[in-house]
Amino acid sequence: MTGPVGLLSRALERIRSVAADDDPAPAADLPPPPGTTLIADTTDRQRATVQGRVSALTLPTAGSVPALVIDVTDASGSMELVFVGRRSIPGIETGVILRATGRVSLDTPRRVMYNPAYEIVPRRGA
C-alpha cells in the first residue's frame, strides 16, 4: 500500500506497538498488595486502603463547588475518589497506580471515598 493512507497506517501501527510495549499491566493482572483491600470487598462506612489504576478523571459541572472525581479500578471492581475543592492533582492521570485510604461510602451501585489520603505508586523498574 502506498500513498497517504499507507503512510498513515504504518504510523498508527508504530504508535500502537510503542504504546503496547510501554503500557503497564492491566489492573486485573495486578495482585492486591499487602495491607490493601480489594475494592469489591469494601463495605459501607469501613475505613479501607485500596489500590488500583486510574481509569478516568472527571470534573463535574453541576453545583458551585469544584470536585475532582477519579475512577480507580482493581481486579475486583472500581471506586470513585472524590476530592472536593480540587480541579486537578499533579501527577494523577489515567494509567497511574494510586493507593488511597479513607472511609468508604456505598452510594449504590458505586463505592465512593471522599477526600482520601493518597499516594502515587511508582512503576516497577522506575
97-107/67-73 β-pairing? unpaired
Task: Give 8-56 pLDDT, tens digit per residue.
Answer: 555 545 544 434 344 455 555 556 789 999 999 999 999 999 999 999 9
pLDDT tens, 58-92?
Answer: 988 777 788 999 999 999 999 999 999 999 999 99
pTM for the model: 0.74
What DSSP character marks residue 79?
E
Helix (H), strand (E) at residue 94? none
Sorted by where each begins, the domain ranges of the chain are 26-121
Distance between CA atoms of 36 and 18, rounded to whole angstroms?
32
Fold of 26-121: OB fold (Dihydrolipoamide Acetyltransferase, E2P) (2.40.50)
* Beta strand pairing call for 67-73 and 47-58: antiparallel
Distance separating alpha carbons of residues 85 and 46, to the nearest angstrom: 23
Q: What is the pLDDT of residue 61?
A: 79
Residue 19: CB atoms within 10 Å: 9
Per-residue pLDDT at 35: 92
